[in-house]
Amino acid sequence: MIDSVAQITDLPLDEALALVRKAFDAAEITRRGIDSAGVVEYYRQSERAYRMFHSGEGALHIGMSTGKGDDDDVGHRRHVELFAELLESIDAQQAIEFGSGMGYNVRTLAREMPARQFVGVDLSPHHTKAARKDAAGLKNIEFIEGNYQQLDLPDEAFDAVLAIETLCQTEDQHLAIAEAYRILKPGGRMMVIDCYRNQPLDAVDEQLREAALLVEKTAAVDKFAELEPWQQMVREVGFEVIECTDRSTETARDLRRLYRLSRRFFKMSLAVKLIRRAMPALAMENAVCGLLMPYTVGHSVHGYYTITLAKPV
Ligand SMILES: C[S@@+](CC[C@H](N)C(=O)[O-])C[C@H]1O[C@@H](n2cnc3c(N)ncnc32)[C@H](O)[C@@H]1O
Protein backbone atom coordinates (compact mmCIF):
# COMPACT_ATOMS: atom_id res chain seq x y z
CA MET A 1 0.00 0.00 0.00
CA ILE A 2 1.37 3.43 -0.93
CA ASP A 3 0.06 5.53 1.97
CA SER A 4 0.49 9.00 0.49
CA VAL A 5 -1.67 7.97 -2.50
CA ALA A 6 -4.09 5.59 -0.74
CA GLN A 7 -4.96 8.32 1.78
CA ILE A 8 -6.31 10.54 -0.98
CA THR A 9 -9.60 8.67 -1.19
CA ASP A 10 -12.59 9.22 1.09
CA LEU A 11 -14.73 6.32 -0.18
CA PRO A 12 -14.27 2.53 -0.16
CA LEU A 13 -13.45 1.26 -3.65
CA ASP A 14 -16.81 -0.56 -4.04
CA GLU A 15 -18.65 2.75 -3.53
CA ALA A 16 -16.39 4.54 -6.00
CA LEU A 17 -17.05 1.81 -8.58
CA ALA A 18 -20.79 2.09 -7.93
CA LEU A 19 -20.62 5.83 -8.69
CA VAL A 20 -18.87 5.09 -11.97
CA ARG A 21 -21.38 2.40 -12.98
CA LYS A 22 -24.27 4.74 -12.24
CA ALA A 23 -22.96 7.51 -14.50
CA PHE A 24 -21.21 5.48 -17.25
CA ASP A 25 -21.44 2.16 -19.07
CA ALA A 26 -18.49 0.67 -17.18
CA ALA A 27 -18.78 -2.74 -18.86
CA GLU A 28 -18.55 -1.19 -22.32
CA ILE A 29 -15.54 0.91 -21.27
CA THR A 30 -13.60 -2.09 -19.91
CA ARG A 31 -14.27 -4.14 -23.09
CA ARG A 32 -13.28 -1.36 -25.46
CA GLY A 33 -10.20 -1.71 -27.69
CA ILE A 34 -8.14 1.46 -28.24
CA ASP A 35 -6.01 2.00 -31.35
CA SER A 36 -4.21 5.08 -32.78
CA ALA A 37 -7.43 6.49 -34.22
CA GLY A 38 -9.02 6.11 -30.78
CA VAL A 39 -6.12 8.00 -29.17
CA VAL A 40 -6.42 10.89 -31.65
CA GLU A 41 -10.18 11.05 -31.11
CA TYR A 42 -9.79 11.00 -27.32
CA TYR A 43 -7.49 14.03 -27.46
CA ARG A 44 -9.67 15.81 -30.00
CA GLN A 45 -12.56 15.55 -27.58
CA SER A 46 -10.49 16.26 -24.45
CA GLU A 47 -8.23 19.11 -25.59
CA ARG A 48 -10.36 21.87 -24.08
CA ALA A 49 -10.92 19.98 -20.82
CA TYR A 50 -7.18 19.36 -20.46
CA ARG A 51 -6.47 23.09 -20.87
CA MET A 52 -9.22 23.96 -18.38
CA PHE A 53 -8.69 21.34 -15.70
CA HIS A 54 -5.19 19.96 -16.18
CA SER A 55 -2.71 22.57 -17.32
CA GLY A 56 -3.21 25.93 -18.97
CA GLU A 57 0.34 25.58 -20.31
CA GLY A 58 -0.57 22.42 -22.19
CA ALA A 59 1.17 19.75 -20.07
CA LEU A 60 -0.71 16.49 -20.53
CA HIS A 61 1.03 14.38 -17.89
CA ILE A 62 0.56 13.68 -14.18
CA GLY A 63 2.66 15.98 -12.00
CA MET A 64 5.49 14.69 -9.82
CA SER A 65 6.09 16.54 -6.58
CA THR A 66 8.12 15.86 -3.46
CA GLY A 67 5.35 17.67 -1.55
CA LYS A 68 7.54 20.63 -0.67
CA GLY A 69 6.88 24.12 -1.95
CA ASP A 70 3.72 25.78 -3.19
CA ASP A 71 0.59 23.60 -2.74
CA ASP A 72 -0.69 24.67 -6.15
CA ASP A 73 2.46 23.41 -7.86
CA VAL A 74 1.56 19.82 -8.74
CA GLY A 75 4.87 19.24 -10.49
CA HIS A 76 4.30 19.23 -14.24
CA ARG A 77 7.75 20.79 -14.65
CA ARG A 78 9.59 18.04 -12.79
CA HIS A 79 9.71 15.81 -15.88
CA VAL A 80 11.37 18.58 -17.87
CA GLU A 81 13.96 19.14 -15.13
CA LEU A 82 14.89 15.46 -15.02
CA PHE A 83 15.33 15.32 -18.79
CA ALA A 84 17.34 18.58 -18.77
CA GLU A 85 19.71 17.01 -16.21
CA LEU A 86 20.09 13.99 -18.48
CA LEU A 87 20.83 16.21 -21.51
CA GLU A 88 23.49 18.07 -19.57
CA SER A 89 25.06 14.88 -18.22
CA ILE A 90 25.79 13.59 -21.74
CA ASP A 91 26.13 17.03 -23.37
CA ALA A 92 23.30 16.16 -25.76
CA GLN A 93 22.81 18.58 -28.66
CA GLN A 94 19.84 16.98 -30.48
CA ALA A 95 16.82 15.66 -28.63
CA ILE A 96 13.40 14.40 -29.70
CA GLU A 97 10.21 13.91 -27.72
CA PHE A 98 8.00 11.01 -28.73
CA GLY A 99 4.33 11.94 -28.22
CA SER A 100 5.04 15.62 -27.54
CA GLY A 101 1.35 16.49 -27.18
CA MET A 102 0.77 20.24 -26.99
CA GLY A 103 4.51 20.72 -26.74
CA TYR A 104 4.87 21.72 -23.08
CA ASN A 105 8.03 19.68 -22.42
CA VAL A 106 10.12 20.38 -25.52
CA ARG A 107 8.94 23.99 -25.67
CA THR A 108 10.15 24.58 -22.08
CA LEU A 109 13.45 22.85 -22.86
CA ALA A 110 13.97 24.78 -26.11
CA ARG A 111 13.40 28.06 -24.29
CA GLU A 112 15.74 27.22 -21.43
CA MET A 113 18.44 25.48 -23.49
CA PRO A 114 18.70 27.71 -26.57
CA ALA A 115 21.93 26.14 -27.85
CA ARG A 116 20.33 22.70 -28.20
CA GLN A 117 17.95 21.48 -30.92
CA PHE A 118 14.59 19.89 -30.16
CA VAL A 119 12.01 17.98 -32.17
CA GLY A 120 8.55 16.89 -31.05
CA VAL A 121 6.52 14.23 -32.86
CA ASP A 122 2.85 13.52 -32.24
CA LEU A 123 0.03 11.61 -33.88
CA SER A 124 -2.58 14.25 -33.18
CA PRO A 125 -3.01 17.05 -35.74
CA HIS A 126 -4.73 19.17 -33.06
CA HIS A 127 -1.83 18.78 -30.67
CA THR A 128 0.77 19.45 -33.36
CA LYS A 129 -1.02 22.64 -34.38
CA ALA A 130 -1.31 23.84 -30.77
CA ALA A 131 2.35 22.96 -30.08
CA ARG A 132 3.56 24.93 -33.13
CA LYS A 133 1.45 27.93 -32.12
CA ASP A 134 2.72 27.98 -28.53
CA ALA A 135 6.35 27.62 -29.63
CA ALA A 136 6.17 30.36 -32.27
CA GLY A 137 9.34 32.43 -32.20
CA LEU A 138 11.57 29.64 -30.87
CA LYS A 139 14.20 28.83 -33.51
CA ASN A 140 15.52 25.61 -32.00
CA ILE A 141 12.36 23.53 -32.10
CA GLU A 142 10.30 21.73 -34.74
CA PHE A 143 7.08 19.74 -34.45
CA ILE A 144 6.31 16.81 -36.75
CA GLU A 145 2.88 15.22 -37.11
CA GLY A 146 3.42 11.48 -37.33
CA ASN A 147 3.70 8.10 -35.66
CA TYR A 148 6.99 7.47 -33.86
CA GLN A 149 6.66 3.75 -34.56
CA GLN A 150 7.94 4.62 -38.05
CA LEU A 151 9.77 7.91 -38.47
CA ASP A 152 11.09 9.53 -41.61
CA LEU A 153 14.32 10.48 -39.81
CA PRO A 154 17.89 9.26 -40.39
CA ASP A 155 19.69 6.64 -38.27
CA GLU A 156 21.74 7.90 -35.31
CA ALA A 157 20.49 11.49 -35.61
CA PHE A 158 19.72 12.17 -31.93
CA ASP A 159 21.52 12.12 -28.60
CA ALA A 160 18.39 11.71 -26.51
CA VAL A 161 14.75 10.65 -26.73
CA LEU A 162 12.04 11.61 -24.23
CA ALA A 163 8.72 9.74 -23.94
CA ILE A 164 6.28 10.91 -21.26
CA GLU A 165 3.01 8.97 -20.81
CA THR A 166 2.91 8.14 -24.48
CA LEU A 167 4.42 4.67 -25.00
CA CYS A 168 1.47 3.31 -23.01
CA GLN A 169 -0.81 4.61 -25.78
CA THR A 170 1.07 3.39 -28.81
CA GLU A 171 -0.15 0.27 -30.60
CA ASP A 172 3.20 -1.52 -30.65
CA GLN A 173 5.73 -0.53 -27.99
CA HIS A 174 8.34 -2.85 -29.46
CA LEU A 175 8.28 -0.93 -32.77
CA ALA A 176 8.49 2.39 -30.90
CA ILE A 177 11.48 1.29 -28.80
CA ALA A 178 13.24 -0.15 -31.87
CA GLU A 179 12.68 3.17 -33.67
CA ALA A 180 14.13 5.11 -30.73
CA TYR A 181 17.15 2.78 -30.78
CA ARG A 182 17.62 3.32 -34.53
CA ILE A 183 17.57 7.14 -34.40
CA LEU A 184 19.81 7.37 -31.30
CA LYS A 185 23.56 7.76 -31.60
CA PRO A 186 25.65 5.12 -29.82
CA GLY A 187 25.90 6.28 -26.21
CA GLY A 188 22.55 8.08 -26.55
CA ARG A 189 19.83 7.93 -23.90
CA MET A 190 16.09 7.45 -23.81
CA MET A 191 14.08 8.69 -20.82
CA VAL A 192 10.67 7.09 -20.38
CA ILE A 193 8.20 8.41 -17.81
CA ASP A 194 5.08 6.30 -17.75
CA CYS A 195 2.55 4.18 -15.93
CA TYR A 196 2.99 0.41 -15.74
CA ARG A 197 1.17 -2.55 -14.29
CA ASN A 198 3.26 -3.83 -11.37
CA GLN A 199 1.75 -7.29 -11.78
CA PRO A 200 -0.61 -9.14 -14.13
CA LEU A 201 -4.20 -8.00 -13.53
CA ASP A 202 -5.41 -11.57 -13.01
CA ALA A 203 -3.28 -11.57 -9.84
CA VAL A 204 -5.33 -8.80 -8.20
CA ASP A 205 -8.84 -8.92 -6.74
CA GLU A 206 -11.88 -8.33 -8.90
CA GLN A 207 -12.64 -4.77 -7.82
CA LEU A 208 -9.09 -3.57 -8.28
CA ARG A 209 -8.96 -5.29 -11.66
CA GLU A 210 -12.12 -3.48 -12.77
CA ALA A 211 -10.73 -0.17 -11.43
CA ALA A 212 -7.43 -0.76 -13.26
CA LEU A 213 -9.16 -1.45 -16.59
CA LEU A 214 -11.37 1.62 -16.17
CA VAL A 215 -8.33 3.82 -15.41
CA GLU A 216 -6.46 2.53 -18.45
CA LYS A 217 -9.33 2.76 -20.95
CA THR A 218 -10.47 6.22 -19.81
CA ALA A 219 -6.88 7.48 -20.23
CA ALA A 220 -7.03 6.26 -23.86
CA VAL A 221 -4.70 3.35 -23.12
CA ASP A 222 -5.51 -0.12 -24.41
CA LYS A 223 -3.46 -1.53 -21.53
CA PHE A 224 -0.47 -0.44 -19.48
CA ALA A 225 2.53 -2.70 -20.01
CA GLU A 226 3.74 -4.93 -17.20
CA LEU A 227 6.99 -3.49 -15.89
CA GLU A 228 9.19 -6.58 -15.83
CA PRO A 229 8.34 -7.98 -19.30
CA TRP A 230 8.62 -4.43 -20.70
CA GLN A 231 12.17 -4.13 -19.38
CA GLN A 232 12.99 -7.50 -20.87
CA MET A 233 11.65 -6.29 -24.24
CA VAL A 234 13.80 -3.11 -24.27
CA ARG A 235 16.88 -5.18 -23.44
CA GLU A 236 16.11 -7.48 -26.37
CA VAL A 237 16.03 -4.40 -28.63
CA GLY A 238 19.58 -3.62 -27.43
CA PHE A 239 19.14 -1.00 -24.71
CA GLU A 240 20.65 -1.14 -21.24
CA VAL A 241 18.26 -0.15 -18.44
CA ILE A 242 20.45 2.20 -16.41
CA GLU A 243 17.80 3.59 -14.07
CA CYS A 244 14.27 2.61 -13.06
CA THR A 245 12.68 4.60 -10.23
CA ASP A 246 9.20 4.18 -8.80
CA ARG A 247 7.83 7.73 -8.53
CA SER A 248 4.30 6.73 -7.51
CA THR A 249 4.44 8.59 -4.18
CA GLU A 250 5.47 11.76 -6.03
CA THR A 251 2.19 11.74 -7.98
CA ALA A 252 0.14 12.10 -4.78
CA ARG A 253 -0.35 15.85 -4.99
CA ASP A 254 -1.62 15.82 -8.56
CA LEU A 255 -3.68 12.66 -8.07
CA ARG A 256 -5.33 14.34 -5.06
CA ARG A 257 -6.20 17.38 -7.17
CA LEU A 258 -7.67 15.20 -9.93
CA TYR A 259 -9.53 13.02 -7.41
CA ARG A 260 -11.17 16.08 -5.83
CA LEU A 261 -12.25 17.40 -9.23
CA SER A 262 -13.72 14.00 -10.08
CA ARG A 263 -15.50 13.68 -6.72
CA ARG A 264 -17.17 17.01 -7.38
CA PHE A 265 -18.29 15.74 -10.79
CA PHE A 266 -19.76 12.52 -9.37
CA LYS A 267 -21.57 14.44 -6.61
CA MET A 268 -23.53 16.43 -9.17
CA SER A 269 -25.95 13.58 -9.84
CA LEU A 270 -28.67 15.44 -11.75
CA ALA A 271 -26.21 17.89 -13.21
CA VAL A 272 -24.10 14.98 -14.46
CA LYS A 273 -26.64 14.12 -17.11
CA LEU A 274 -26.98 17.72 -18.24
CA ILE A 275 -23.22 18.29 -18.42
CA ARG A 276 -22.80 15.04 -20.31
CA ARG A 277 -25.02 16.39 -23.04
CA ALA A 278 -22.86 19.49 -23.39
CA MET A 279 -19.37 17.92 -23.07
CA PRO A 280 -17.78 15.37 -25.41
CA ALA A 281 -18.23 11.82 -24.08
CA LEU A 282 -14.52 10.92 -23.94
CA ALA A 283 -13.69 14.18 -22.13
CA MET A 284 -16.29 13.33 -19.46
CA GLU A 285 -14.72 9.90 -18.96
CA ASN A 286 -11.56 11.57 -17.62
CA ALA A 287 -13.54 11.85 -14.37
CA VAL A 288 -13.46 8.04 -14.11
CA CYS A 289 -9.67 7.98 -14.35
CA GLY A 290 -9.37 10.83 -11.83
CA LEU A 291 -11.64 9.06 -9.36
CA LEU A 292 -10.09 5.59 -9.57
CA MET A 293 -6.37 6.13 -10.11
CA PRO A 294 -5.60 6.82 -6.42
CA TYR A 295 -6.95 3.31 -5.68
CA THR A 296 -4.93 1.52 -8.35
CA VAL A 297 -1.70 3.43 -7.60
CA GLY A 298 -2.38 3.35 -3.85
CA HIS A 299 -2.64 -0.46 -4.00
CA SER A 300 0.43 -0.73 -6.25
CA VAL A 301 -1.54 -2.26 -9.11
CA HIS A 302 -0.29 0.63 -11.23
CA GLY A 303 3.03 2.39 -10.70
CA TYR A 304 4.48 5.59 -12.10
CA TYR A 305 8.11 5.25 -13.14
CA THR A 306 11.04 7.11 -14.63
CA ILE A 307 13.21 4.75 -16.65
CA THR A 308 16.45 5.67 -18.38
CA LEU A 309 17.77 3.53 -21.23
CA ALA A 310 21.22 3.70 -22.79
CA LYS A 311 22.22 2.66 -26.29
CA PRO A 312 25.62 1.02 -25.88
CA VAL A 313 28.63 2.70 -27.52
C1 LIG B 1 -0.55 11.83 -22.33
S2 LIG B 1 -0.08 12.70 -23.78
C3 LIG B 1 1.50 13.28 -23.25
C4 LIG B 1 1.97 14.45 -24.05
C5 LIG B 1 3.30 15.03 -23.62
N6 LIG B 1 4.32 14.00 -23.60
C7 LIG B 1 3.20 15.68 -22.27
O8 LIG B 1 3.83 15.17 -21.33
O9 LIG B 1 2.53 16.70 -22.16
C10 LIG B 1 0.35 11.41 -24.94
C11 LIG B 1 0.61 11.92 -26.34
O12 LIG B 1 1.18 10.84 -27.09
C13 LIG B 1 0.66 10.90 -28.42
N14 LIG B 1 0.86 9.59 -29.05
C15 LIG B 1 0.38 8.38 -28.65
N16 LIG B 1 0.84 7.40 -29.45
C17 LIG B 1 1.62 7.99 -30.41
C18 LIG B 1 2.38 7.50 -31.51
N19 LIG B 1 2.42 6.21 -31.83
N20 LIG B 1 3.06 8.41 -32.28
C21 LIG B 1 3.02 9.73 -31.98
N22 LIG B 1 2.33 10.25 -30.91
C23 LIG B 1 1.64 9.39 -30.13
C24 LIG B 1 -0.78 11.32 -28.23
O25 LIG B 1 -1.34 11.87 -29.42
C26 LIG B 1 -0.64 12.36 -27.11
O27 LIG B 1 -0.45 13.66 -27.60
- Tell me, in angstroms, the distance from the centre of ligand 1 to residue 196's CA: 16
- Tell me, in angstroms, the distance from the centre of ligand 1 to residue 119's CA: 13
Q: Which residues does 142 contact at the CB level (< 8 Å), separation at least 6?
A: 118, 119, 120
Pocket test for ligand 1, best of 39, 148, 162, 222 (most atoms within 8 A of CB): 39
Give the number of C-alpha atoms closer than 13 A to the C-alpha of residue 55, restricted to the C-beta side. Answer: 18
- Tell me, in angstroms, the distance from the centre of ligand 1 to residue 100's CA: 6
R_g of the chain computed on alpha carbons: 19
Strand pairing category for 302-310 and 184-197: antiparallel
Q: Whose CA is nearest to atom 27 of ligand 1?
A: 101
State how far the Cα of 165 lies from the Cα of 289, in Å rounded to an integer: 14
- Tell me, in angstroms, the distance from the centre of ligand 1 to residue 123's CA: 7
Q: Which pLDDT belongs to residue 139? A: 95
- Tell me, in angstroms, the distance from the centre of ligand 1 to residue 122's CA: 6
Q: Which pLDDT belongs to residue 272? A: 67
Q: Whose CA is nearest to atom 4 of ligand 1?
A: 101
Pocket test for ligand 1, best of 80, 123, 132, 247 (most atoms within 8 A of CB): 123
Q: Whose CA is nearest to atom 10 of ligand 1?
A: 166
- Tell me, in angstroms, the distance from the centre of ligand 1 to residue 267's CA: 31
What are 239-258's pLDDT values in tens digits?
Answer: 999 999 999 999 999 999 99
Nearest atom within ligand 1 for CA of residue 102: 9
Nearest atom within ligand 1 for CA of residue 219: 1
Ranges of residues in the chain with a pLDDT under 50 are none
- Tell me, in angstroms, the distance from the centre of ligand 1 to residue 55's CA: 15
Q: Whose CA is nearest to atom 13 of ligand 1?
A: 99
Contact predicate 109/96, CB 8 Å: no
C-alpha distances in angstroms, 153 versus 74, 84, 138, 161, 173?
35, 23, 21, 13, 18
- Tell me, in angstroms, the distance from the centre of ligand 1 to residue 20's CA: 26
State how far the Cα of 37 lies from the Cα of 220, in Å rounded to an integer: 10
Domain 3-310, second-level architecture: 3-Layer(aba) Sandwich (3.40)
Pocket of ligand 1 (CB under 6 A): 39, 43, 59-61, 99-101, 104-105, 121-124, 127, 147-149, 164-166, 169-170
- Tell me, in angstroms, the distance from the centre of ligand 1 to residue 248's CA: 20
